[in-house]
Chain A
Amino acid sequence: MIRSFSEILTYKRGLKLTLASRLLLVASVFLGILIAAFSAPTPASWVYLSAIAFVELGVIKVLNKPVTILRALVFICFFVFLSLSMRLIGIFLFNNPLNPTTTVYAALLLVEAFLAITIFLQLISPSELVWLASKVGFKEAGRVLALVLTHLSSILLAYSEVYVVVKLKKTRSILALKPLLVYTIEYGGQINEAIHLYGLPDPVLGKTKPGGRDLLVTLMSLALILTGILLLSR
Chain B
Amino acid sequence: MQKVLRVRGLRVRYAGGDWVLKGLDFELGKGEVVLIVGESGSGKTTFVRAITGLAGRVYNAVVEGYIEISGKPLAEWGWEEVRDKIGVVLQNPRATLVYPIVYDDLISHAYSIYGSADSAERALSNITKLLRISHLLNKHVDQLSGGELRRVSIAKALLSNPEVIVLDEPLMWLDDKGMEEVRKTIEILKLHEISVVVLEHRYRSLVEVADRVLRLEGGVLAPIESPLEVGGGFTTLKQAATAQEERDPVLEVRNVEVKLGELVLKDISLRISRGEKVVIYGGNGSGKTTLLRVITGVIKPAKGVVKRRGGILYIPQIPYLYFTETSLVDELKLAGLPDAGKASTGKTRFDLDRSPFSLSWGEALEFIVEMALESRSELVLMDEPFSGLSYTSRKTLGGRLLASPKAVVVTASNRENLEFLAGFKLLELKEGRLVEKGLLGDLR
* A-to-B contact residues, CB < 8 Å: 3-4, 6, 10-13, 65, 67-68, 125-127, 143, 146-147, 149-151, 153-154, 158, 161-169, 171, 175-176, 178-180, 182-183, 186-187, 190-204, 206
Determine if B313 is an interface residue (Cβ-Cβ < 8 Å).
yes
Given known A-B contacts A197-B54, A201-B111, A204-B108, A10 and B321 have beta carbons under 8 A apart = no
User: From residue B308, how far is it (CB to closest CB) to chain A in Å?
Assistant: 11
Is A151 a contact partner of B325 (Cβ separation < 8 A)? Answer: no
Determine if B229 is an interface residue (Cβ-Cβ < 8 Å).
no
Residue of B nearest to A178 (CB): B324
Of residues 52 through 86 on chain B, the ones whose CB sits less than 8 Å from some CB of chain A are 52, 54, 57-58, 80, 83
Q: Determine which residue in A154, A196, A198, A199 has the highest number of CB atoms from chain B within 10 A of its CB, and name it.
A: A198
A168-B312, A169-B324, A175-B325 known; 4 other A-B pairs, CB under 8 Å?
A151-B94, A162-B321, A186-B320, A199-B109
Residue of A nearest to B82 (CB): A197
Determine if B220 is an interface residue (Cβ-Cβ < 8 Å).
no
Q: Which residues of A contact B317 (CB under 8 A)?
A: 161
Q: Determine which residue in B83, B91, B98 has the highest number of CB atoms from chain A within 10 A of its CB, and name it.
A: B98
> A73 to B60, alpha carbons, bound, how many Å?
53
User: From residue A141, how far is it (CB to closest CB) to chain B in Å?
Assistant: 15
Is A161 a contact partner of B318 (Cβ separation < 8 A)? Answer: yes
Residue of B nearest to A186 (CB): B320
Can you list 28 A-B contacts (CB < 8 A)?
A6-B142, A10-B140, A67-B261, A68-B261, A126-B99, A127-B99, A150-B100, A150-B141, A161-B321, A162-B316, A164-B293, A165-B316, A166-B324, A168-B296, A169-B334, A169-B335, A171-B334, A182-B323, A183-B320, A186-B320, A196-B57, A197-B54, A197-B83, A197-B90, A198-B98, A200-B98, A201-B98, A201-B111
> A14 to B317, alpha carbons, bound, how many Å?
33
Q: Which residues of A contact B320 (CB under 8 A)?
A: 179, 182-183, 186
Determine if B107 is an interface residue (Cβ-Cβ < 8 Å).
yes
Is A12 a contact partner of B324 (Cβ separation < 8 A)? Answer: no
Determine if B14 is an interface residue (Cβ-Cβ < 8 Å).
no
User: From residue A209, how far is it (CB to closest CB) to chain B in Å?
Assistant: 16
Determine if B95 is an interface residue (Cβ-Cβ < 8 Å).
yes
User: From residue A18, how far is it (CB to closest CB) to chain B in Å?
Assistant: 16
Given known A-B contacts A150-B99, A197-B54, A179 and B90 have beta carbons under 8 A apart = no
> A193 to B61, alpha carbons, bound, how many Å?
14
> A167 to B94, alpha carbons, bound, how many Å?
28
Work out how many contacts link A and B, with CB atoms closer than 8 A.
149
Residue of A nearest to B156 (CB): A198
Q: Determine which residue in B94, B99, B108, B112 has the highest number of CB atoms from chain A within 10 A of its CB, and name it.
A: B99
> A127 to B108, alpha carbons, bound, how many Å?
9
Determine if B152 is an interface residue (Cβ-Cβ < 8 Å).
no
Is A202 a contact partner of B324 (Cβ separation < 8 A)? Answer: no
User: From residue B85, how far is it (CB to closest CB) to chain A in Å?
Assistant: 12
Is A168 a contact partner of B99 (Cβ separation < 8 A)? Answer: no
User: From residue A129, how far is it (CB to closest CB) to chain B in Å?
Assistant: 10
User: From residue A158, how far is it (CB to closest CB) to chain B in Å?
Assistant: 6
Q: Which residues of B contact A193 (CB under 8 A)?
A: 54, 58, 90, 95
Q: Which residues of B contact A204 (CB under 8 A)?
A: 104, 107-108, 111, 117, 120
